[in-house]
């Protein structure tokens, strides 16, 4: 008998084990839910938290009471029972806004969010002599044929 497994997908950012209490609230009126939970693993794109209830995949959620009084929205990406008694569930959440919303003091280097990536891509004085910035004239734009 041949056993096949799903292909391994590369992670977009490093996972960090934590213990962060937070409040999870469903933003779907047809699936009401509000509970004090504990996040046990985080990344720049999401988290895994323990819950006493199973949540349906795709449910939009609001995470509040994060460190520094931050809040963030996302959706349920997975939900697995913890143990055989189905009293606790590990809920995976995908965040709509990526970054260090968890208050991690020294986040992994691959947690850069959009603003940090833009800042890194902005040329500085030291970049002006390196490719691709040295391919352009410092005199400004040239328009051949125009006077």
31-66: pLDDT as tens digits: 999 999 999 999 999 999 999 999 999 999 999 999
The model's pTM: 0.68
74-130: pLDDT as tens digits: 999 999 998 888 789 999 999 999 889 998 888 888 887 544 433 344 444 444 554
Q: What is the pLDDT of residue 26?
A: 96
Q: What is the pLDDT of residue 146?
A: 52
The two structure tokens encoding residue 45: 């794109």
Tally the residues of the chain: 147
pLDDT greater than 60 at residue 133: no
Cα torsion for 16, 26, 62, 22, to the nearest 10°? -50
**Burial class of residue 135 (count of CB atoms within 10 Å of its CB; 0-12, 13-18, 19+):** exposed
Cα torsion for 69, 71, 76, 80, to the nearest 10°? 0
Domains by residue range for the chain, with CATH: 16-95 (2.40.10.220)
């Amino acid at each position: 008998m041949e056993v096949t497994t799903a292909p391994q997908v590369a992670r977009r950012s490093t996972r960090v084990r934590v213990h962060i209490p937070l409040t999870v609230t469903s933003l779907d009126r047809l699936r009401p839910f509000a509970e004090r939970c504990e996040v046990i693993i985080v990344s720049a794109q999401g988290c895994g938290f323990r819950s006493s209830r199973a949540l349906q995949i795709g449910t939009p959620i609001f995470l509040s009471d994060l460190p520094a009084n931050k809040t963030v929205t996302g959706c349920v990406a997975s939900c697995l029972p913890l143990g055989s008694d189905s009293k606790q569930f590990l809920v995976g959440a995908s965040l709509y806004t990526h970054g260090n919303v968890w208050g991690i003091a020294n986040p992994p280097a691959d947690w850069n969010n959009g603003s940090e990536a833009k800042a890194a891509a902005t040329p500085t004085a030291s970049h002006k002599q390196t490719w691709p910035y040295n391919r352009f004239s410092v005199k400004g734009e040239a328009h051949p044929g125009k006077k």
